[in-house]
Structure 1
Amino acid sequence: MNKLGFIGMGNMAQALATGFIKSGKIKPSDIFAYAPHLEKLKENAKKIGFTPVDSLDALVDSSDTILIACKPYQIEDVISQIKHKLVGKAVISIALGWDFAKYYRILGNEVRIQFVMPNTPAMTGEGVMLFEQNNSLGKDERMQIMDLFTSVGIVEELPTNLMGIGGAITGCGPAFVDLMIEAYADAAVKYGIPRKDSYRLVSQMILGSAKLCLEAGEHPAVLKDNVCSPGGSTICGVTTLEEKGFRNACISSIDAIMNKKTN
C-alpha cells in the first residue's frame, strides 16, 4: 500500500486520517479523499493534511488502496461508477453491514477486499479496529494494512458472525461512555465543581480505570471490590446503581442495537 484514498470524509474517516497521519506511518501527501461537498472537504483537508480530489475517478486513479467510508446506502451507487477502475486494487470498507461476502458478490475476485470496523477513539490512538477474518487481501498486504490501523488503536480479528456484536460494543460504546461522562460531570457540577473541571476529572477517572483494567489482568469485579470498603461510600453508590438497573441497562442497550440490525 503506497497511496490511500478515502471515499467519504465523515467523522470516522476524519478520525482515521488524523490518526494515520499523526502516527507517521503514512505521509499526508499519500492520503487522498473524495466527498460530494468539495468546499467542506477542502476545509477538513487543511486541518488534517490529506489531499482533496474533485471526483471519484480522480480518487481511484490517485490511489492503490481505496478506503470506503461513505454511508452504507450510498455504496452500490459509488461502486457502479468506479467498478471498472477497481480491478487489481485493494478495497477496505468501514461501512456498517458491508462485509466481505456482500462486496464479493458485486466485485468478485478481481478486487481484494477487507471489512474493518473502527471506532472514533482512533483519533487519539486509542481505537479498536475489528478486522473480519474473511478477506481476500494478500498476506503481506494485509499485515501492512493491519500495522497501519494498529497505529491508531488495537487490532482484533473476528469471524464474520461476531462482527455485528463486536461493532455494537466497540463502535456504539463510545457514545454510551460519553453519556456516562456527561452524567457524572452533571453530578459534580450539582455539588459545586465547575463544568470544565468536572468533564476533565470524570474523563480522566474513566481513562485511568480502563487502563487499570487492561493492565492489571484482574477481573473487573476484583477491581471494583478493591475500591469498596465495608460500610463505605463506594459500596453505597454500587448498591444504588444495582437498584437502578445499571448493568441491565448496559446489556439492554446492546440488545436494542442487535435487534435493530436484524429487523
Structure 2
Amino acid sequence: MKIAIVGAGNMGRAIIDGLLDQVDASDIIISTPENPTLQPWVNQRAFTIVHDNTELLALDFDYLIFTTPAKVTLNIMQTLAKLPAKTTILSAAAGIRLADMKDAFTNQHNLAIFMPNTPVAINAGTIGTTILADNASAKEAILNLLNVLGDTFEISETDFGIFGTVAGCGPAFVDIFMEALSDAAVANGLNRQLSYQVISSMLKGTASLQMATGQTPAELKNTVTSPGGTTIKGVLALEAQPFRRAVTDAIDAANHN
C-alpha cells in the first residue's frame, strides 16, 4: 500500500506520524514546498519527497490524502484532475465537500472527507468521515486506513462542523480543565509534575471506563458520589459555578465562528 500526502503542516505531519505505525516510510510520498525547518524530520525517514504537486502524476500510489488548507486544496485537486481511477482520494481540508472533489477529478474515484485531530500522531485520534465508495470493500478499506490513526466515526456531511468543534477544539478545553485541576492540586501541596501524571491517568481511565461500559457520564458520576461523601460535596461546589454553561458557550462560540 502506497500513500501520497499533499501538505506537511502540523496536521499533515501528525497524520504521517500516525500512519508510520503500520506503513513503511518508503511507501509514503510527501508533496510539500521546500522548507528547511522540515528537513530534520524528513531526514529521519525514507520518504519520497516532491516539491511540485504535478510530479505526483508520474508516481504510483493507492491513496492520496490532502492535508492542505481549503483555500488552496481545490486548486491543487484541479492540477491532479487526471489521476487514475484506481487512486482513492481523501481530504482533511475543512470546508471541502464530496461534491467539490467529484467536480475536481476527471475520473470516478472512491472519495472520502475526514476530520482528524492532532492525537492521530500517536494513533489516538478522533476522526469523523463521510465516504463515497463504489462498493462495501472499498469503503471498508478507507475505514481501515483511517482506523490506523484512531477511532473513526462515520457521520453525515452536515455534522462535520459540530463534530470538528467537539473533537478538534475539545482537546484545548480539556487542557484548560487539566491545568485548573493541576493548579488546585499544587495549591493543596501536590508536586506539579506528579499532578499532571495523576490527572492524565485519571482522565484516560475515566474515558476508557465510559467506552468499555457504555454507561453515560451521569451514571458513572453517580457510582463515585457516595451519600455525604467528599465527591458529591466537590460536585456541588462545581455546580455552584456556571461550569456547564461555560462549556456550552465555548462549544457554541467555536462552532459559530
CA distance in 2, matches of 1:72, 1:188: 42
Aligned partner of residue 156 in structure 1, secondary structure: strand
For the structure 1 residues 35 and 221, does the alpha-carbon distance in structure 2 shift closer, same or farther, using more than 3 Å as the test?
Answer: same
Partner of 2:70: 72
The answer as to whether partners of 1:4 and 1:67 remain within 8 angstroms in 2 is yes
Aligned pairs, number: 255
Tell me how far apart the structure 1 counterparts of residues 40 and 97 of structure 2 sit (CA, whole Å): 31
Q: How does 1:124-135 map to 2 (within 5 A)?
A: 124-133=122-131, 135=132
Match of 1:30 in 2: 27
Partner of 1:179: 176
Question: Match for residue 12 of structure 2?
Answer: 13
Specify the code of the residue in structure 1 equivalent to 2:172: A
Measure, in 2, the Cα distance between the counterparts of 1:142 and 1:106: 20
- Long gaps (5+) in structure 1: none
User: How is 1:1-263 mapped onto 2 (pairs within 5 angstroms)?
Assistant: 2-22=1-21, 24=22, 26-47=23-44, 50-62=47-59, 63-84=61-82, 86-88=83-85, 89-107=87-105, 110-133=108-131, 135-136=132-133, 138-260=135-257
| 8 A Cα contact 2:4 2:63, kept in partner | yes
Q: Distance in 2 between matches of 1:52 and 1:204?
A: 38
Q: Deviations over 1:157-181 (max 9, x none)?
A: 1122222222221122122112211
User: Which is further off, 155-164 or 106-115?
Assistant: 106-115
- Distance in 1 (CA, whole Å) between partners of 2:219 and 2:170 is 22
Structure 2 CA distance for partners of 1:238 and 1:140, relative to 1, 3 Å: same
Distance 1:198 1:183, change over 3 A: same
**Residue 5 of structure 1 aligns to a residue in which SS?**
strand
Identity of matched residues, %:
32
Quote the Cα distance in structure 2 between the aligned partners of 1:42 and 1:137: 39
Structure 1 counterpart of 2:7, which letter? G
Do the aligned partners of 2:77 and 2:101 also contact (CA within 8 Å) in 1?
no
Give the 3-state SS of the residue equivalent to 1:83 in structure 2. coil
**1:190 CA displacement:** 2.3
For 1:127, the aligned partner's letter is G
Q: What is the deviation of 1:53?
A: 2.2
Is 2:34–2:51's contact at 8 Å kept on the other side of the alignment? no
- Match for 1:142: what amino acid? K
CA distance in 2, matches of 1:35, 1:251: 38
* Superposition TM-score, scaled by structure 2 size: 0.89
C-alpha distance in structure 2 between counterparts of 1:137 and 1:127, whole Å: 26
State whether residues 60 and 66 of structure 1, in contact with CA within 8 Å, keep that contact through their aligned partners in structure 2: no
Q: Tell me the SS of whatever aligns to 2:161.
A: helix
**Aligned letter for 2:127?**
M
Look up the equivalent residue of 2:89 and give its one-letter code. Answer: V
Please say if residues 70 and 93 of structure 2, whose CA atoms lie closer than 8 Å, have aligned partners that are also in contact: yes
Aligned-residue offset at 1:185: 1.4
Point out the structure with the larger helix share. Answer: 1
Q: Quote the offset at 1:87 in angstroms.
A: 4.5
Q: Is the Cα contact below 8 Å between 2:78 and 2:104 reproduced in 1? A: no
Unmatched 5+ stretches in structure 2: none
Give the superposed CA RMSD. 2.1
SS at 1:193's partner residue? coil
